[in-house]
Amino acid sequence: MKRVVVTGIGALTPIGKNVDEFWQNAVAGKSGAGTITRFDASQFRTRIACEIHGFDPKDHFDRNEIKRTDLYTQYAYVASDEALKLSGLEIDKMNPFDIGVIWGTGQGGLSTFEDAVTTHAQGNGKPRYNPFLIPKMLPNMAGGMIALRHGLQGLNYTAISACATSNTVLMEAFNHIRLGTCKVVVTGGSEAPISPASIGGFAAMKAMSTRNDDPEAASRPFDVDRDGFVMAEGSGCIILEDYDHAVARGATIYAEMAGAAMTTDAYHMTSTHPEGLGATECMKRSLDVAGLNAGDVDYLNAHATSTGVGDISEVKAAHRFFGPDSKVKIAGSKSMTGHLLGAAGAVEGILSIKSIQDGVIPPTINTETIDPEFPKMNIVIGSAVETDVRVAMSNTFGFGGHNATVVFKKFE
């Protein structure tokens, strides 16, 4: 099996429109939440979200590109452009069939579909649909368009496992490189879910916070007063590369991807297993692949959505796996970014990589009183912690019972 290293990262998030800005604001504990401006949400149960403010597609794309792509694909473009630039890859000097794209999204071009159906419903019955409707809404299109944009002709597909999607595609890319299928994979996820149907649907499930008068404090993982997640949009991209190929070209190596695994709860359509049994096994198997033990992990970026059932099941799983005397530090970055659904694992993977590079663990903000029902764990709240991070683990869990865990370690 080949070693897999990280040679590029790119981010477009509610707390930063590039990696440096994203990282600085995460360390500073900045919230990206506010009142929804994407549409009139005044009559909705939940009226807050983590939007990307100041993003203008015209700053990045020409008129035809904008017309042909949904916002989730545009977000994918921006993050992958940054990651490829930072990687220093000279694509024109490589065999293009050695570079693949494995991308993820939970909802794809939902807004495009929603707008088309709304326009039709409000019309006179005569169907008038945009010829780009289908390609704009397809969930595989972002990955295909990244390849088209950069001339990447290796394997290309999209995996979807709800909010575990980005870690799923990271695992897929990791395994393809280990097996020698390709030398480089552009991988990550993008999501543009702040639309009436998406907000309305999740609100109807009572999965989202209704702290509408105090949006910046609404996402509060582990807190006794948590009342649901805050929807977010954006994209994260990670360039994974065959170690030998990266060294041969003199690439900057950010970290090594050491392990990944998936399990399924097979318990409930939307709820995690109350004792976190699937999550426990997923963490164990990811470290088995990495050849590491629970005691080697310094930082766990928890899925930590700020939901009642989800948070406690994950902490129970961590307590069972790491043990009651574990020194592992746990933090929930969704307290700042909100929940990027299918893109969550990619942006949280970037935070894990940066924590290894800089020796800093971003905080869980807004958490004031940890739920007394939780078993005792070392949860980082309030402000960032400076500490040596040699191994970082990141969890993601999705509707359908999907659990996906990835492990990064300091490159040596």
Q: Enumerate the active-site residues.
A: 163, 303, 339
Task: For residue 302, give the nearest of 221, 365, 402 by alpha carbon.
Answer: 221
* Joined tokens for residue 71: 């916002």
DSSP states of 320-370: HHH-TT---EEE-THHHH-B-GGGHHHHHHHHHHHHHHHTEE--B-S--SB
CA distance 238 to 89: 13
In this structure, what DSSP letter does residue 15 have?
T
Task: For residue 280, give the nearest of 291, 294, 298 by alpha carbon.
Answer: 294
Task: For residue 362, give the nearest of 354, 373, 372 by alpha carbon.
Answer: 354
Pairing status of strand 34-35 against strand 156-159? unpaired
Query: Which stretch of DSSP H or E encloses residue 148?
Result: helix 141-150
Task: For residue 248, give the nearest of 391, 82, 93, 356 by alpha carbon.
Answer: 93
Measured CA distances, 81 to 65, 78, 136, 145, 290 (Å): 15, 5, 19, 12, 29
* Joined tokens for residue 232: 């977010």
* Joined tokens for residue 82: 């940054």
DSSP states of 94-111: S-GGGEEEEEE-SSSSHH
- Tell me the one-letter amino acid at 264: T
